[in-house]
Structure 1
Amino acid sequence: MTNLTEDLRAEVAPGGTAGHERGLAERRSLRARRARTVNVVIYAVLVVLVAALLVPFLWMLSSSLKENNQVFTVPIQWIPEEFVWSNYSDIWTRIPMMGYLQNSLYLSVIITFLQVLTGSLAAYGFSKIRFPGRDVLFLGYIATIAVPWQAYMVPQYIMMQQLGLTNSFNALILLQAFGAFGVFLMRQYYMTIPDELCEAARIDGLSEYGIWARVILPLSKPALASLALLTFVNTWNDYMGPFIYLTSNRLWTVQLGLRSFVGQFDAEFAMIMTGSVISVVPILIIFLIGQRYFIQGIATSGMKG
C-alpha cells in the first residue's frame, strides 16, 4: 500500500510542477506581449508628434527651393517641379547676409557668455552661501520672470537713449547680460550638489570664488550647457530687441535682415524661406553638439529645490 501511494505521488507531482511552470511561462509571455504593445503605441504616438513638429520645417525647406509664386500654391506642393537652387546663391548678393549672420553670432556669443557667467555666480550665492533674507530675495528676483517684457519695454528704451546706447550692440548686451531664468536653472542644479563639498573646500582655505570656479563649475557642465544653448537660441532668434535698438542696416541681425525681402505691397517669400533655412543651420549644429549635456541638465535641474 505504501509503495502504491509513493508511485502515485511520483506521477502526480511532476505533472503539477510542469503545469505550474507552464502557467508562469504563459503569464510572462502575456506580460511581454502587453509591454511590446504599449511600446509600439508609445513609439507610434511619438512618431506622429515628431512628424507634426517637422512639418513647418519641411515646408520651409521645400519653399526655399521654389519660385516666389509657387510658395503658397493650394494644395501644397511638397516636392517642387523644378528645384531653384539659385536661391541659395542669390541671397548672398541680394542682401548682406554674411554681415547679418556675423552680427547675430556676435550678439549671441557675447550675451550667452555673460548670462552663463552672471547666472552661475548669482545661483552659487543663492544656493551655497547663507545670508539673511536669501530665500526672500531669490523669490522676489525669480518673480520678475512673470512680468511681461512689454510692461517695461518703454522705460528700458528711455534709459538706453539717455545713456546714448541706442543703435549699438551695447544696449542689447547690457539689457540681456542678466537673466532670472538662468539664475533659477543654475540654482536648482547647484542644490543637487552636496554642501559637504563646499564645506570641505572652505576648510582647505578656498575662497567663495575659488569654490565656485574649482568645485562647483566642473560639476555643473550639464546645467551650463543647457543654459548656454537656451540663451544662444533665444538671442539668435530675437527680433523685437534688435528691431527696437538697432536702426543702422550694418548692425542688423539675420532676423532683421530677412525683413529686406518684405516690400510695401508684396514679399519675396521664397527668399525669406531661403534665409530662414540658412539661419537655422547654426542652431542645429550647436544643438547637435550639446544635446547630451542639454538633456541631462534639464532632467536634473529640478530634482531638488
Structure 2
Amino acid sequence: MSTTSLDRTTEAVSPVRPPRRDDPARPVRRHRSRGRGLTVAIGAALAVGALITAFPFIWMIASSVKPRSESLAYPPRVLPEEPTFEFFVQLFQELDFGRYLLNTIAIVLIGMVGLVLMAMAGYGFAKFDFRGREPLFFLVLVTMMIPVQVTMIPTYLILNGMKLTNTLVGIALPSLVSGFSVFLFRQFMTTIPTEMIEAARIDGASEARIFWRIIMPLSKPILAVQVVLTFIGGWNSFLWPLIIANDERLYTLSVGVALLNQQIASNPSLQMAAATLMVVPILIVFVVFQRFVVQGFALSGLK
C-alpha cells in the first residue's frame, strides 16, 4: 500500500474533531447581544420618560377641545368623546384675546429688529480692533449678571420721561438689546475666517455689503438661535407689560391668561384653550429651528 493510500485511509477512519470551546467569535456575539439588550432597555426608559414629560401637554390640548361637562366629569378621561372648538371661539369673540394676540405679535416683531443691532455689535466685537473693545465687552458681560428685576424701576423711569409708558413701543423697547445675545453673536462670529473679510475689502466691498452679503448668511445658525430666544421672550412677556401698561388693550397673551385664571375658575376647558394658544406657537417655532439651534450652540462654544 502506498503512502498516499495510507493517508487517505487514516483520514477516513479518524473521528471528526468537536469544535473548540474557546471560539473567539463567541464572546463577541455575547457582547453584541448584551449591547442590544442595553440599547433596548435605554430606549424603553427614554420612551417612558418622554411619555411622562409630554403627558401634561397632551392633557392640555385634549382638555381644550372637551365640552365643559367632560372637563368636569369624574373620573376624568384623557381624550374627549365629542371634541369642540367653542372655547377657542369664545376666547376671540368674548374675551378680547384677538387684541392680546396682535399685541404679542407686535412685541415679537419689534424685538426681532433688535437682532440686527445685536448682530452688528457682535460683529464689531469679533472682527474689529478698536480702542476700549475689551472694557466694553466686559461691560456687556456684566449686564448678564444683573437680574432684570433690578433694572425695571430705572427703565420705567427712563421710558416715563420719554412718554413711552402705556405704549407697545415702551413694552418692546427693553427687549431690543440683550447682553447674552451680543455675547452669542460675538462667540459665533469669531469662527468666521478673517481672511474672507479681508479679501472682500480688497475687492472693494463696503463694510455694509460685507455684513449683509457675507457675515449674515454665514451666521444663519446663531440667527436661528436668536430668533427662537427672542420669540420666546416676547411671546411669554408678562411682568414688564403688566408694569408699564395700564390699559388692558395693551396686554399680552400671558397677561390675558393670568386674568382669565382669576376671573373664570370653573371652566377648565376655557383655561386649557388659552394655555394651548400660548404654548403651541412656541413649540412650532422650536421644531422649525431645532436643527439650527443645536448647530448654533455647538459652534458658539456653549455646552
| TM-score normalised by L of structure 2 | 0.82
Residues of 2 paired with 1:185 and 1:44: CA distance? 36
Contact 1:261 1:268 in 2 (8 A): no
Residues of 1 paired with 2:194 and 2:279: CA distance? 41
Contact 2:107 2:168 in 1 (8 A): yes
Residues of 1 paired with 2:183 and 2:39: CA distance? 35
Residues of 1 paired with 2:20 and 2:138: CA distance? 64
Q: Deviations over 1:48-77 (max 9, x none)?
A: 332233122123223324466875888754
Contact 2:260 2:271 in 1 (8 A): yes
**Does 2:109 correspond to 1:137?**
no
C-alpha displacement of 1:271: 1.4
C-alpha displacement of 1:130: 1.6
Residues of 1 paired with 2:180 and 2:266: CA distance? 36
The residue that corresponds to 1:100 in the other structure is 100
Alpha carbons of structure 1 residues 202 and 159: separation in structure 2 relative to 1, 3 Å: same
Residues of 2 paired with 1:286 and 1:229: CA distance? 7
Residues of 1 paired with 2:266 and 2:159: CA distance? 33
Residues of 2 paired with 1:75 and 1:192: CA distance? 57
The residue that corresponds to 1:63 in the other structure is 63
Residues of 1 paired with 2:69 and 2:136: CA distance? 56
Deviates more, 1:217-226 or 1:278-287: 278-287
Amino acid at match of 2:61: L
Alpha carbons of structure 1 residues 271 and 264: separation in structure 2 relative to 1, 3 Å: closer
Query: How large is the Cα RMSD of the aligned pairs?
Result: 3.1
The residue that corresponds to 1:14 in the other structure is none
Residues of 2 paired with 1:20 and 1:180: CA distance? 67
SS in 2 for 1:193: coil
Contact 2:70 2:76 in 1 (8 A): no
The residue that corresponds to 1:177 in the other structure is 176
Amino acid at match of 2:200: A
Alpha carbons of structure 1 residues 39 and 193: separation in structure 2 relative to 1, 3 Å: farther
Contact 1:115 1:182 in 2 (8 A): no
Q: Number of aligned pairs?
A: 290
Q: Deviations over 1:75-101 (max 9, x none)?
A: 754345664542233222221222221
Contact 2:110 2:172 in 1 (8 A): yes
Contact 1:166 1:246 in 2 (8 A): yes
The residue correspondences of 1:74-223 to structure 2 (distance < 5 A) are 77-80=77-80, 83=83, 85-112=85-112, 114-223=113-222
Gaps of 5+ in 2: 12-18
The residue that corresponds to 1:228 in the other structure is 227
C-alpha displacement of 1:137: 2.1
| TM-score normalised by L of structure 1 | 0.82
C-alpha displacement of 1:22: 4.6
Alpha carbons of structure 1 residues 239 and 69: separation in structure 2 relative to 1, 3 Å: farther
Q: Deviations over 1:80-129 (max 9, x none)?
A: 566454223322222122222111111112212x2311111111011111
C-alpha displacement of 1:239: 0.8
Alpha carbons of structure 1 residues 80 and 159: separation in structure 2 relative to 1, 3 Å: same
Q: Based on CA coordinates, which of the two structures has the bigger radius of gyration?
A: 2
Gaps of 5+ in 1: 12-17
